[in-house]
């Protein structure tokens, strides 16, 4: 019963403050658990991660030298090209296990 009351109070508070109060907040101000909601209405207004500055460094750290210039599989799967990452999509998560990195890649893969 107490849990239901607390949930109701939280719902009323959320509705009372409204979504506009949340839209002005900076993403860095939220804890990691709040950022995990990838399909929130605010996620669609976020800027798509930049490939060269945010996505490519993930693959450089995890998939070099094989998938970069001079590597054994570079000709088939060059990870320094955004098209390759887009084509492979979430199949890349067999190697990329970090949840924050996966979230960033999902944001990059999301339609603009």
- Cα atoms found within 13 Å of the Cα of residue 44, Cβ hemisphere only: 3
Ranges of each domain in the chain: 1-44, 47-112
Q: What is the pTM of this model?
A: 0.59
pLDDT by residue, tens only, the chain of 112 residues: 777 666 565 655 555 555 444 444 444 444 444 444 445 554 556 789 999 999 999 999 999 999 999 999 999 999 999 999 999 999 999 989 999 999 999 999 997 7
- Burial (Cβ within 10 Å: 0-12, 13-18, ≥19) of residue 58: buried
């Amino acid at each position: 019963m107490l849990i239901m009351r607390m949930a109701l109070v939280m719902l009323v508070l959320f509705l009372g403050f409204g979504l506009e109060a949340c839209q002005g907040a900076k993403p860095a101000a939220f804890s990691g658990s709040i950022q995990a909601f990838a399909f929130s209405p605010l996620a669609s207004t976020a800027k798509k991660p930049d490939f060269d500055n945010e996505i490519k460094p993930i693959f450089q750290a995890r998939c070099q030298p094989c998938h970069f210039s001079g590597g054994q599989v570079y000709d088939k799967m060059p990870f320094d090209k955004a098209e390759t990452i887009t084509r492979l999509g979430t199949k890349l998560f067999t190697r990329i296990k970090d949840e924050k990195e996966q979230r960033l890649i999902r944001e990059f893969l999301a339609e603009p």
